[in-house]
Amino acid sequence: MVHPVDLHVGRRLRARRRLLGLTQETLANSVDIRFQQIQKYESGANRISASRLWSLAKALDVPVSYFFDGMNGHEPELEYAINGEYRFSGPPAAELLDEKETIDLVRYYYQLNKEPRRRLLDLAKAMSSEH
């Protein structure tokens, strides 16, 4: 069974990797492991050792604590989904960054200058209220 902390850390790893636009292979090469290991880390199937977590944090330009953000000192609770995967119970906010489209949108948003970002945000707000 997947441990909730391993799944949380793996999802944080995936979110940061995607935000930076890195492939699993590129990240794996930067820490001298195979991309399949990154897949296992991201799914929570394999635990990340302290030294590997240190290397990954350095490669992703984040502090080690980044991987534990959002846990608020509590072990996340998991639910077993119908499709055979595990998901966090409670509000879906932590899982929003699991979607590639969300990561792409955030990455492109921050590539814009301040004024186009404000206009895009205004557009999104207007569209969301148009049900």
**Any idea which residue has 């944090």 for tokens?**
57
Taking the CB of residue 24, how many other CB atoms lie within 10 A of it?
A: 19
Please give the Cα distance from 2 to 72 (Å, whole number): 20
Please give the Cα distance from 70 to 62 (Å, whole number): 15
Q: Which of 20, 6, 7 lies closest to 110, judged by CA?
A: 20
State residue 131's pLDDT score.
52
Q: What is the mean pLDDT of residues 100-123?
A: 86
- Residue 91 clears pLDDT 80, i.e. is over it: no
Q: What's the Cα-to-Cα distance from 97 to each of 60, 84, 119, rounded to whole Å?
A: 16, 20, 23
* Strands annotated E in the chain: 78-80, 86-88
pLDDT tens digits along 35-72: 999 999 998 899 999 999 999 999 999 999 999 887 76
- Residue 122 clears pLDDT 60, i.e. is over it: yes
SS3 content of the chain, % helix, strand, coil (to 5): 60, 5, 35
Pick the CATH number of 4-98 from 1.20.1250.20, 1.10.10.10, 1.10.260.40, 3.30.1360.120: 1.10.260.40
0.95 exceeded by the pTM? no
| Segments making up each domain of the chain, as ranges | 4-98
Query: Which residue did the predictor score with more confidence, 92 or 128?
Result: 128
Which of 21-25, 35-39, 123-127 is predicted least confidently? 123-127
